[in-house]
């Protein structure tokens, strides 16, 4: 054996045999590297998930469930418009009173300020015509008008006749309400909180006048569907015997003695009082009149636009209603009628 052969064989014996499948070793090494990488990513992924859950938890706790967000003072809340309080009406059509219509010793003696709406409602007594709409303009003026009524003295003497009654309900932004109650008979007082005040007619007139102003500001009565005032020239259809006057507009007409009809439009507040008076002061009696004609006639329209005439049979003191009965106006009604006659002439 030569030295070269000896060296070659010695080197071969010193080097171990390679594995039968060399790819197996490489595969094992790659698997080990993958396991190390997967373990590292799993640890990092778990930490990231924990961090993500923590961030999400903070977001959920500090987001839309903030209780103060619902009470954001800058948000626009819908205006609260007061409704009429319920009232019981008996079979005869007479509305019954309740504690709302009596002074409350624990209440304020005036209508609270900052009312945002008001509504004229039926009160204890015979029926009145109640406007459909609420007052939302000039409510402060109505509050001032009611609070400006004089407090009635405790020893004030009142007659005991019955008649129509009304309520005025005031509404506030916090949805609270305050109700005053007026009597269009007797001493014609208004219950305001803990007090009686004189001037029921003035209180109701204030509501009706402000409602008329509101309609005009919103585009006028004709644009809101209310009939315009009638004229003294009209065609009156026959009315049923049980027809009840429910004028929405009216004029007083009177002949000037030469065949020309003079007229004076009846404003909403006066018309409301006159219609209520017609319902209250009816009689089957007759009157021997000592007043010379011409006598006036009231021409009114109801919500259908139908013209109805109520002729006088003696100055302003005795009128004939469509139901055939006579209307003998109260002193307050006569004063209004006399003023209308004077205005027409």
For the domain made up of 249-344, give the CATH fold. Answer: Dna Ligase; domain 1 (3.30.1490)
Give the pLDDT of residue 258.
77
Question: Do 81 and 117 touch, CB atoms closer than 8 A?
Answer: yes
**Residue closest to 119 by CA, chosen among 159, 80, 154:** 80
Count the helix, strand and coil residues of the chain and give each as a percent rounded to the nearest 5.
35, 20, 50
Query: Pick from 103, 153, 145, 149: which is nearest to 120 by CA?
Result: 145
For the chain, the structural domain boundaries read: 99-217, 249-344
Q: Is residue 15 pLDDT above 60, yes or no?
A: no
| pTM, entire model | 0.47
Predicted confidence (pLDDT) per residue in 28-48, tens digit: 444 444 444 433 333 334 344
Instruction: List, for residues 147-197, the tens digit of each pLDDT value.
Output: 999 999 988 888 777 788 999 999 999 999 999 999 988 889 999 999 999
Q: Tell which residue, 265, 254, 309, 320, has the closest CA to residue 287.
A: 320
Say how far apart CA 261 and CA 271 lie, in whole Å: 20
Q: Is the confidence at residue 84, as pLDDT, over 50?
A: yes
The residue-averaged pLDDT of 129-142 equals: 91
């Amino acid at each position: 054996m030569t030295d070269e052969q000896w060296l070659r064989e010695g080197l071969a014996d010193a080097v171990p045999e390679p594995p039968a499948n060399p790819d197996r070793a490489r595969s094992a090494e790659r698997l080990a590297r993958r396991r190390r990488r997967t373990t590292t990513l799993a640890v990092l992924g778990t930490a990231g998930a924990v961090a993500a859950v923590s961030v999400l938890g903070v977001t959920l706790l500090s987001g839309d469930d903030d209780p103060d967000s619902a009470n954001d003072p800058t948000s626009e809340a819908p205006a609260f418009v007061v409704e009429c309080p319920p009232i019981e009406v008996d079979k005869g059509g007479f509305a019954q009173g309740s504690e709302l219509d009596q002074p409350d010793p624990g209440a304020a003696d005036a209508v609270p300020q900052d009312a945002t709406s008001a509504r004229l409602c039926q009160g204890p007594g015979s029926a009145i015509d109640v406007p459909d709409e609420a007052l939302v303009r000039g409510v402060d003026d109505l509050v001032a008008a009611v609070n400006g009524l004089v407090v009635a003295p405790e020893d004030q003497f009142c007659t005991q006749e019955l008649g129509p009654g009304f309520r005025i309900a005031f509404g506030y932004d916090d949805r609270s309400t305050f109700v005053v109650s007026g009597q269009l008979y007797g001493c014609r007082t208004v219950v305001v909180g803990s007090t009686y005040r004189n001037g029921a007619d003035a209180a109701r007139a204030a509501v009706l006048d402000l409602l008329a102003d509101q309609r005009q500001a919103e585009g006028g009565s004709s644009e809101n569907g209310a009939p315009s005032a009638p004229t003294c020239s009209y065609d009156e259809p026959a009315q049923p015997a049980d027809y009840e006057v429910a004028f929405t507009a009216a004029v007083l007409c009177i002949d000037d003695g030469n065949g020309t009809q003079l007229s004076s439009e009846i404003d909403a507040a006066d018309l409301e009082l006159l219609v209520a008076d017609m319902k209250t002061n009816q009689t089957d009696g007759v009157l021997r009149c000592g007043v010379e004609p011409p006598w006036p006639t009231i021409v009114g329209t109801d919500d259908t636009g139908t013209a109805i005439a109520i002729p006088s049979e003696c100055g302003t003191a005795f009128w004939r209603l469509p139901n055939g009965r006579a209307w003998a106006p109260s002193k307050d009604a006569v004063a209004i009628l006399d003023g209308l006659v004077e205005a027409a002439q």
